[in-house]
């Protein structure tokens, strides 16, 4: 597991410049931070503990956007690790991904859920209760005000969006299962590449039995 120091600056690029599965595992417990415009020009800090992620591993992974080749949308996935890949689903919900691994190998981790811990009163809750206001990719980005303007943001800099170190999650507290909503990817849909923190009230869905790794 990659070492982390609670309360540190943004995670370094070396954290992201690794195998997507290692990065996905180690992102659990880290703190996603969004600095949004606040009153009197002061940035409002919105933050949550990452409790659920999904790994998408290169062009051979039929559930990965890069399986269809390099496009204007997926170009960021082929770039430097540690950048945000933000896209829309159904033309209305933003999803936040973190680019991993070497340049020209398109892999990323989807951040599916966080437990809100800072700036909760400023988050956009929708109709969800507090524990669920950032549960699921769409709710997460709505609560933390993450949109397409943050696509390609460098997460390794103290800018409007970054991830800082939190308390690492023990292996015994990590649960795994198939990714959600990728049934079209056939056998790739069975890969247990969705990871979560056991017992978290912010998980988007319960975890079920896994398929082959």
Residue-wise pLDDT tens digits, 131-147: 789 999 999 999 999 99
User: Do 13 and 81 meet the contact criterion of CB atoms below 8 Å apart?
Assistant: yes
**Radius of gyration, CA atoms only, the chain:** 16
Tens digit of each residue's pLDDT (9 = 90 or more) over 39-84:
666 778 999 999 999 999 999 999 999 999 899 999 999 999 999 9
User: Do 123 and 116 meet the contact criterion of CB atoms below 8 Å apart?
Assistant: yes
Domains in the chain with CATH codes: 13-195 (3.10.300.10)
Tens digit of each residue's pLDDT (9 = 90 or more) over 7-31:
569 999 999 999 999 999 999 999 9
> Which residues are CB-contacts of 87 (< 8 A; sequence separation ≥ 6)?
65, 73, 94, 95, 97, 148, 151
């Amino acid at each position: 597991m990659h070492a982390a120091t609670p309360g540190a600056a943004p995670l370094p690029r070396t954290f992201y410049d690794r195998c997507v599965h290692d990065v996905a595992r180690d992102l659990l417990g880290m703190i996603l931070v969004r600095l949004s415009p606040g009153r009197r020009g002061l940035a409002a800090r919105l933050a949550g503990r990452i409790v659920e992620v999904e790994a998408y591993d290169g062009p051979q992974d039929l559930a990965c956007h890069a399986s269809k080749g390099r496009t204007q949308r997926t170009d960021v996935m082929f770039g430097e690790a540690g950048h945000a890949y933000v896209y829309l689903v159904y033309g209305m919900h933003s999803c936040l991904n973190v680019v991993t691994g070497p340049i020209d190998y398109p892999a990323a981790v989807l951040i599916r859920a966080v437990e809100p811990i800072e700036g909760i009163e400023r988050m956009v809750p929708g109709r969800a209760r507090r524990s669920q206001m950032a549960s699921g990719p769409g709710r997460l980005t709505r609560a933390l005000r993450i949109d397409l303007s943050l696509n390609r943001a460098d997460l390794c800099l103290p800018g409007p969006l970054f991830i800082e170190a939190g308390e690492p999650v023990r292996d015994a507290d990590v649960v795994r299962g198939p990714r959600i909503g990728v049934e079209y990817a056939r056998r790739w849909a069975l890969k247990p590449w969705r990871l979560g923190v056991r017992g978290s009230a912010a998980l988007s869905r319960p975890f079920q039995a896994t398929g082959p790794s």
